[in-house]
Chains A and B, each alone.
Chain A
Amino acid sequence: MAFLEVRGLEAYYRQTQALFGVDFVLDEGSITAILGANGAGKTTTLRAICRMVRTDGEVVFDGQDLSGLSTERVVGLGIAHVPEGRGTFVRQSVEENLQLGAYTRKNKADIAEDMESVYGYFPRLGERRRQQAGTLSGGEQQMLAIGRALMLRPKLMLLDEPSFGLAPLIVQEIYEIMARIREREGTSMLLVEQNASIALELADHAYLLETGRVVMGGESSLLRDDEDVRRSYLGY
C-alpha cells in the first residue's frame, strides 16, 4: 500500500461539489505534483486531505484511514500544510510563527533544534526572528510558511502553490531549498502548482486535475513530454 492513497475523493462547499472522485497515490519519500488551471480543485484536494472541507471517499495515510478525523488529529499524524496564501500569523513574530508550527509537539529541546535547522535552510528568517511576520516580503513569508510546516517534523508536507506571486529568482531559491529538504529529511511532499514547468522539474510523479477530476497521471518526465500537457500547461 502506498504512503498516501486517495480514492474516490469528493469535496463539497455547502451544496457545490468541487471534487468528483479524485484518485492518486504518493510513495514514501517522493514528491508528487498536482497540476491544474484556476478552479480545477487543487487547493480543495489539499483541504480535503486535512479535513477542512466536507468530503466523501477514502484517504489513507501511512495505513490509517483519515475519514472522521479532525484537522488537529490529521496534523498530529505528521501532515503539515503550507497553505494557499501562506497563512502567516501576521501579528506574531517570525519565531512565534515557527513555535506555532510545533504546537502539537512536546519536547522543547527537539523544537529548539528544529528551529535552528529552519534558520539553517532559511537564513533570512533567522535574521528576522523577532520581526512581526506581517512585515516580511512575500518570498520571506513563503519561506516562513515552509519553515512553519517543517517545525512539525512532518512525514508529509502539503504545499499549495509555493511559487505563487513570487519573482522567478525567489521561486528558484525556494524550490532548491525544497529539494534540499527532501534530500536531507526524506520528507514526502504533495505539491500543488500552476507553474507546471518548475513543479515537473522537482516532482517524481504528477497528476493533472481538471474540474475536480484527475485526467492524467504518471512520471513527471512522461507528462513533460506529452504534447497536450506541453501546449496547455507549459506553453511551448
Chain B
Amino acid sequence: MGDALNLALREEMRRDPRVYCIGEDIVLGLPFGVTKGLVDEFGPERVLNAPISEAAIVGSAMGAAVTGLVPVVDMHFADFVTCAMDEVVNQIAKSRYMFGGQLDCPLTLRMPYGIGRSGGGHHSNSVEAWFVNTPGLKVCIPSTPADARGLLKTAIRDPDPVLVFEHRGLYRVTGEVPEAETPVPLGAADVKRPGRDVTVIATARMVHASLEAARRLAEEGVEVEVVDPRSLVPLDREALALSVRRTHRAVIAEEGPMRASVGAWLAWVIMEDCFDDLDAPIVRVAAPDVPIPFSPPLEGFVTPDADDVVAAVRQTLK
C-alpha cells in the first residue's frame, strides 16, 4: 500500500504543478517510505523537509492552499496532529464555511496511524473519530493499495481539506493496482466480500481482520459480508443500509477506542436507516478505552483482531 500511495503522489504531482509535499524527513521517505524518491523527480521545491514545527507545517499548508498551491502534508505519525490541532480544527476545517464560502482549501493531510509493533502511548493512536466529529473536514481511510491510491488522488484533487488515514500496519500489504489512473470517489463504500448472513462494516486494518474472520466463519457455513466504507466523511449510507437490509445483522469493527467513536456513530446510522430490518442488536468491535500500552501481551490485548470479529458475528446470530 505504501508503493500505491507513492504512485498516487507521483501521478498527482506530474498532473498538477501546484501540488507539493511537506513534512518531517520526507525527502528520504521517512518514516514509512511513502514519499521515497519523490525529491529525485520533483526536486526540493516540491518535496519540503520542514523543521519539527507541526503547527507551522499544517498552518502554512492552509496558507498555501487558500492562495493557490495544493499541499499534501505528511503528519509523520497521526499522533502528532495534536501539535497542530488548532490549525486543523479551527483554521482549516472552518476556512470555507466561516468566511461564507469565499476560500477554497485544497489540502490533504496524510495520517499514518494505528496500533502495532509496540509503538507505545504516543505512537499508536487511532484518532479518526476526532476529525469525523469536526465539521468541515473530509475523512477517508483506505484498506487496500488500490483504494489507497485512488482515495489519495481524489483527496489531492478535492477543493476541500481531506484527511487520509493510512494504517501503518498496512503499508506492506500488497494487492492489485489498476493500470489506468482510477481515482476512488469519496463517499463510495466497497463490498470487500459478499455474504448473506451478517454484515461486518470495517475500516483499514479491521477490513483484513474481518476478511480473515469471514473465511473462518465460512467453514461453519456462516456467510459474512464485509463492507468497507472507505470514506467516513462523506459516508455512503446507502451502501451500508443496502447490505444490512439483506443480512439483517450488523457488526461494526474499528481499531480505535470504544467510546464516542466512528463505530458508535455508524451504529446510530444503521439504527436510523435500518431499524426495522435488524434481527439482532448491532455488535461493536473496538479497542478498550485505554491508551495503547507498550508491552506485546498488553498491546495484543487491546488490539481488536479476527477473533473479536468472529465472536461479534456469533453474538449477532445468537
State yes or no: do A and B come from one complex: no
